Amino acid sequence: MKSQIAFDFINKHIADGKTIFVRTYTRATEVTPNTIKKFADAGRPLFKMNSKNELLMSEGKNYVCLATPTTCFVGISAR
């Protein structure tokens, strides 16, 4: 599943201390391990999987879908 592969990729590289870049056509979001920690400390995961196996990212008070089991809607890379 593409969503699970992307979620595992994010978690692996964050655990290695790398920065994740989530890119759309109009915007790039930089996510550091410190960013992940701040969200976790607030009791709200930045990235999560829902019951439909979709990868979600927190945006404001809601979550937006980054990937479904068959399609990844954004570019995800690590440095």
Can you give the pLDDT of all 79 residues of the chain as single tens digits? 789 999 999 999 999 999 999 998 898 999 999 999 999 999 999 999 999 999 999 998 999 999 999 998 999 999 9
Q: State the Cα–Cα distance between residues 14 and 46, nearest whole angstrom.
A: 12
Q: State the Cα–Cα distance between residues 56 and 68, nearest whole angstrom.
A: 9
Helix (H) or strand (E) holding 63: strand 62-67
pTM above threshold 0.85: yes
Q: State the Cα–Cα distance between residues 47 and 37, nearest whole angstrom.
A: 11
Which pLDDT value is given to residue 1? 79
Query: Which CA distances in Å does 42 have to 9, 11, 20, 36, 64?
Result: 23, 18, 20, 10, 18
